Amino acid sequence: MTAPETRAVIAALTAEGATVRFVGGCVRDALLERPVTDVDIATHDEPEKVIALLEAAAIRVVPTGIAHGTVTAVVGKAHFEITTLRLDVETFGRRARVAFTNDWALDAARRDFTINALFCSPDGELFDPFGGIEDLRARRVRFVGQAEDRIREDVLRLLRFFRFYAHYGRPPPDGAALAACRELAHLLPTLSGERVAGEVLRLMAAPDPAPVLALMADEGVLADILPEAGTIARLGGLVALERELGQAKVDAGGALRRLAAALQVDAPGAEELAARLRLSNVEKARLAALAAPAKPVTVTGDDKTRRRELYGLGPELYRDLVMLQWAARRGEVGELARDEVAAYRGLVEAADAWEPVQLPVKGRDAVALGVPKGPRVGELLQEVERWWIERDFRPGRAECLAKLEKLAARGG
């Protein structure tokens, strides 16, 4: 709230006397002293007015969702989503005009959970119509209003419940919410793959998603959206491992790795899941490579084997596969022998220390040797590469060129 970027946006929005509030996640996370990434602000002004006010203050405006009454203000690296409070006059029946101060209560009532229905004025006054602060303190994730009604209005909230429970909750989960989720799980297939994926991956980024995923499975919530989640224990093992290795912070790649840990699929199964969740081609390939690897990483091999596998997979994929294999192994045998642990650690360290190497010859070298442009160039390079890997990446450019020349000559 005190950041100059925030002050600038607030000053612009209130320049002509409008009342604005910080809303939702930023208030919640500020109260918890967690880092605030995006700031949502609510105002009574219409989007056109908001744009005019921001432009008058020379603040960059991106019309992200004018149709939903949202514009984004960009100051430096900070983004502010500014939403116009909607007046659903029809829901008020004959009461044609909604009193000004009631708008906030109305807006709060549309939000999903009490901890997400917090408002804060620019000078720090909190507005908490549903006891969200108390719930936040007790780590209770509770619906605003009747859970069943709220899920029927928007089925995504069913998944949001588990996501927010994983990030903000403490056992036991709210009984009414859980009962409604169980009851209405059959509505989940009406959600688009993108929306399901968004929630599932955000859930995976929670400190420990495994118990929540297990809870979802028990409640019958997973059967329709993620029936592939057959190895939740392995996910638990992976999370424990990440903690031991001091890498509990999870980025997008980490969320995908965690999802892969929970999946019991072959490669076509992983691809089918990725297609259903509308993942990008890059994510799809990564998920399949992680959930259904072509072959296991060699744990007790020599340095040369390790370098060959690292080169083939790339350090990120290699590292992720080592972690998954390690987690699975712990799931199988419980505690690992000390030398096995050391071996796995060695592989992770090797991935972290890996200096990329590049085949010292290129396609144009083959062409310069008289090989006609076409598939033959790629075949020759692959042959040289195999030879080069077999020699532990030692041959330099001169040797590789000589090898290429020899192969090219032999091939005619």
Q: Which residues bind ligand ATP (CB under 6 A)?
A: 24-25, 40, 111-112, 116-117, 154, 156-157, 160
According to the binding rule CB under 5 A, does residue 395 interact with Mg ion?
Answer: no
End-to-end Cα, the chain, rounded Å: 72
300 close to 343: Cβ distance less than 8 angstroms: yes
Distance of alpha carbon 7 from alpha carbon 2, whole angstroms? 6
**Shortest separation between residue 85's beta carbon and Mg ion, angstroms:** 18
Q: List beta partners, residue 79.
A: 74
Stretch near Mg ion under the rule CB under 5 A, chosen from 37-45, 156-164, 196-204, 207-215 = 37-45
According to the binding rule CB under 5 A, does residue 198 interact with Mg ion?
Answer: no
**CB-wise, 41 or 347, nearer to ligand ATP?**
41
- Cβ within 8 Å of residue 217, ≥6 positions away: 223, 229, 232
**Shortest separation between residue 59's beta carbon and ligand ATP, angstroms:** 21
111 binds, among ligand ATP, Mg ion, none (CB under 5 to 8 A by kind): ligand ATP
**CB-wise, 145 or 269, nearer to ligand ATP?**
145
**CB-wise, 160 or 319, nearer to ligand ATP?**
160
**Shortest separation between residue 113's beta carbon and ligand ATP, angstroms:** 7
**CB-wise, 198 or 236, nearer to ligand ATP?**
198
156 binds, among ligand ATP, Mg ion, none (CB under 5 to 8 A by kind): ligand ATP
**CB-wise, 150 or 306, nearer to ligand ATP?**
150
**CB-wise, 19 or 70, nearer to ligand ATP?**
70
**Shortest separation between residue 343's beta carbon and ligand ATP, angstroms:** 38
Q: Determine the size of the site formed for Mg ion (CB under 5 A).
A: 2
- Per CB under 5 A, residues contacting Mg ion are 25, 38
